[in-house]
Chains A and B, each alone.
Chain A
Amino acid sequence: MARRTERMQRLASRAVQIGFLLALFVLWYLATNVWDVNHLLLPNPVAVWQQFLDVLRSGAYLPDLRVTASEFVAAFALAITSGSIVGYFVSRSRYLIRVFEPLFAGIFSVPIILFLPLYVLFFGLGMESKIALGATISFFPITLATIAGFGNVDRTLVTAARSMGASDYQMFRYVLVPAALPVIMGGLRIGFTIALLSILGSETIASLAGLGHHIVELAEDMDMSRMFAYIVFVVAMVALLNFAVSYLEARGRRHR
């Protein structure tokens, strides 16, 4: 019974959410077709939809997607590797935690995107500067979460494993990692989002290729409906990725 009302409530809020999005679309349609908003400011949704289908069918997005995706994968991989290693070693000592945790947290609060010109000077306009920036930005939340995850493992569990004769490797593999993983996943989630944002953002500011770059190019050509189509494409891609990450997270948390 309680389950049923819960499901009804969830359905009801879903309906409101969908209704909200639909209302936005209706407003968009009315603005372009009835209220005659300038098409250079706001293209017709039907035209955007046709462009979107054309982008999908022609595969015109592929070269730019390849660039952005490679930048993201490289940046995220760098951040995960360096962040989890640095985080793990800092978490092994109370002293290091006391010194480095506030330091990393402080740097994390700085808007690192402001250093983009510096990254471009150092690494050029190509993919390298995006990879370096994305890796730097997502390094901090991943490191901080790794420190928190490994630094706050329940002492009782560690003592219990030690009393049963766990070796250092077994302690790491069967106690520390599973205990820290949920917290680290939270950091990966944040790192994932801000790496993607900063890469797409810096592509729109200073770049040679990539989805962000292409969107700005279309804006400069005043090809508004195609630009909107690309924005829709990127939003859909990111939403899909987020969905996949949430799914993985939920699977990892089954026992709670």
Chain B
Amino acid sequence: MSAGNVAVCIKNVSHQFGEAGEAQHVRALADTSLDIARGELLCLIGPSGCGKSTLLNIVGGLLPPTAGSVEVSGRALRGPVPREISFVFQESALFPWNTVIDNVRLGMLFQGVAQAERDKRAKRALEAVGLADFADHYPGQLSGGMRQRAALARALSLETGILLMDEPFGALDEQTRMILGEDLSVLLARAEKTIVFVTHSLGEAVFLADRVAVFSARPGTIKKIIDVDEPHPRKPSFVTSEKFTALRNELYALLHDEIRKAVLESASARGGDGRGNG
């Protein structure tokens, strides 16, 4: 990978919450390095608590890493860079007191986009995610899937080169997330964005990603990166192909041990607490 092609360069990043010796001390992320290529869709997958969301927040500048550094387009990261990076969060994070279109406009307002331009881009983004007819609804009037579409529209309207998605479909039912995944693949094939997508769904990872980074149990680090060599937009038939199944099985084998480890660790941690209190 040549330097010009790297959108995000993660170098030896570690993160811990709290200080060593404290009760809440957690080593979330250990010595992780990764280059994310411009225009690729990278999925982060791993057992719960493996630090994949932590890494996403660090890349987004929302959380300073305890050690290591992140470069975005060649510049060291020192906080959010809203002109280059937009977010879609797990819960839709829409402002409930604003209509859908006002939610989309507000992000652009924060960045000083002119009024006329805001209106134009907001309409275009809502059309892209299929919510044009719901522009004047409040988030509370929409289903979970529609709220995530609106959140995606807000992120798209910011026209950033990098899009970070933290389990955006995590709270949705299987069928809704399947449809949203297909639509996302179509949308993103056109948009030419660099996307980092955190998920705990194996199928979602294989279906969407160009590369899947598999995390180890806590303290998390990247165990292996798997390439999914399949052009975007992905067709629904990809899901039933042998290639899909093989990749999914490979991911499953990689993850299985780590998830066992994570479950054991959290069980023993809970047992330890019990003794401490007794």
Contact = CB atoms under 8 A, between A and B. Distances in A.
A and B from one complex = yes
Interface of A: 156-157, 159-167, 170, 174-175, 178-179, 255-256
Given A174-B106, A255-B140, A256-B96, A163 B111 contact: no
B95 A157 contact: yes
B91 A156 contact: yes
B80 A163 contact: yes
Nearest to B83: A165
A68 to B, nearest CB: 35
A245 B96 CA distance: 23
A218 B97 CA distance: 50
Nearest to A156: B93
Contacts of B111: 164-165
B51 interface: no
Name the residue among A175, A178, A255 with the largest chain B CB count within 10 angstroms: A255
Contact of B86 (A157, A159, A164, A178): A164
Given A156-B89, A174-B106, A162 B97 contact: no
Contacts of B106: 164, 174
Given A156-B89, A255-B140, A163 B97 contact: no
Nearest to B80: A163
Nearest to B60: A163
A163 B86 contact: yes
Specify the main secondary structure of chain B where it touches its partner. Answer: loop
A179 B98 CA distance: 11
B91 A162 contact: no
Nearest to A162: B80
A244 to B, nearest CB: 22
B138 A160 contact: no
Nearest to B158: A164
Contacts of A164: 82, 86-87, 106-107, 110-111, 154, 158
A164 B62 CA distance: 11
A162 B86 CA distance: 10
A165 B111 CA distance: 6
Contacts of A174: 95, 106, 109-110
Contact-residue bracket for chain B: 20 to 34
B80 A160 contact: no
B54 to A, nearest CB: 13
B89 A178 contact: no
Interface of B: 60, 62, 80, 82-83, 85-87, 89, 91, 93, 95-99, 106-107, 109-111, 138, 140, 154, 158
A156 B90 CA distance: 9
B200 to A, nearest CB: 19
Contact of B62 (A162, A179, A256): A162
B80 A178 contact: no
B83 A255 contact: no
Contact of A170 (B87, B93, B97, B110): B110
Contacts of B83: 165
Contact of B96 (A159, A162, A255): A255
8 contacts: A159-B62, A163-B82, A164-B111, A167-B110, A170-B110, A255-B97, A255-B138, A256-B140
Contacts of B87: 160, 163-164
A179 B158 CA distance: 23
A174 B96 CA distance: 11
Given A160-B93, A167-B110, 8 more contacts: A156-B89, A164-B87, A164-B154, A170-B110, A174-B110, A178-B95, A178-B97, A256-B140
B10 to A, nearest CB: 18
Contacts of B60: 163
B97 A159 contact: no
A157 B151 CA distance: 12
Contact of A175 (B82, B95, B140): B95
B75 to A, nearest CB: 16
Nearest to A158: B93
B80 A165 contact: yes
B82 A165 contact: yes
A36 to B, nearest CB: 60
Contacts of B97: 178-179, 255
Task: Give 6 nearest A-B pairs by CB, closest first.
Answer: A165-B82, A160-B93, A164-B107, A255-B138, A163-B87, A166-B110
B238 to A, nearest CB: 31
A160 to B, nearest CB: 4
A240 to B, nearest CB: 28
Given A157-B95, A255-B97, A163 B85 contact: yes
A174 B97 CA distance: 10
Name the residue among A165, A170, A178, A255 with the largest chain B CB count within 10 angstroms: A165
A156 B106 CA distance: 16
A167 to B, nearest CB: 7
